[in-house]
Structure 1
């Protein structure tokens, strides 16, 4: 069954991918970005900073299916990329400040695009691994200065 409406989580995942990939930087050329895209852990990291929550596996899977099916993102060999159509959506959305980015993208998706139904699945293990990778980034201790060991 193909869903005909966008969910807030779809916009959340899209905005997280745009920011994580650097596609949202207005003066940054597409050729200056990593051509392979970003990994799921990068998307989760940014999504957490946007909404103070890590997206659940089902949220990511459903959002990616709809976004990829609409031609706004691609996922190849675990690398997430924003397509030119996705970049156009981002650059032409109504501006409302960073705090309103997800809401404005959700509005644009609802008015201008139809959700797709790409054939893509996110396994429990793959999601769990990305969450662990993200968590490990948070636990990296700050480098110690050699003089800190003085008694």
Structure 2
């Protein structure tokens, strides 16, 4: 996959956002989910659950820029939300085992959508605060991905 294509981390962040927001639970209707969206600490917590590591700041920033630019998510005042287009992607993805969800979404992104660009930025301090909140909530040590994995995918 070329530099302009979707990265595995983009799918990882998208799936984390969907699950953290409740859209993954029994295909709940949008009206039964958290309408305000989810905070970054929630996304990080779900990402850790999916991959047993936390995404680096640059992975989150790049994924959110590409996903928001493609119209699949929005971020406003620190709240992350899945758009109707993102909801459609999630609901029409191939269903496999839970272990393949990120890979399935990555494939759907690659086939159906073009990564977009957005000017959203994630400051080091915001990411650090969300990581700290994650650590306090879970009582777990922070597990980061090795550097060689965080740029590939």
Q: Do both share a fold (TM > 0.5)?
A: yes
Q: Does residue 109 of structure 1 match 2:87?
A: no
Counterpart in the other structure of 1:80: 80
After TM superposition, the score normalised by the length of structure 1 is 0.88
Secondary structure, aligned partner of 1:4: coil
The structural deviation recorded for 1:27 is: 4.0
Tell which structure's C-alpha radius of gyration is larger: 1
Counterpart in the other structure of 2:130: 130
Point out where structure 2 has 5 or more consecutive residues left out of the alignment.
141-153
Counterpart in the other structure of 2:18: 18
Secondary structure, aligned partner of 2:81: strand
Counterpart in the other structure of 1:120: 120
In 1, the alpha carbon distance for the partners of 2:131 and 2:103 equals 25
Change (3 A) 1:101 1:115: same
Point out where structure 1 has 5 or more consecutive residues left out of the alignment.
141-151
In 2, the alpha carbon distance for the partners of 1:51 and 1:69 equals 25
After TM superposition, the score normalised by the length of structure 2 is 0.87
State the superposition RMSD in angstroms: 1.2
Query: Does structure 2 retain, via aligned residues, the 8 Å contact 1:24–1:87?
Result: no
Structure 1 consecutive aligned stretches of length 4 or more whose deviation exceeds 3 Å = none
The structural deviation recorded for 1:35 is: 1.1
Q: How many residues align?
A: 138
Secondary structure, aligned partner of 1:5: coil
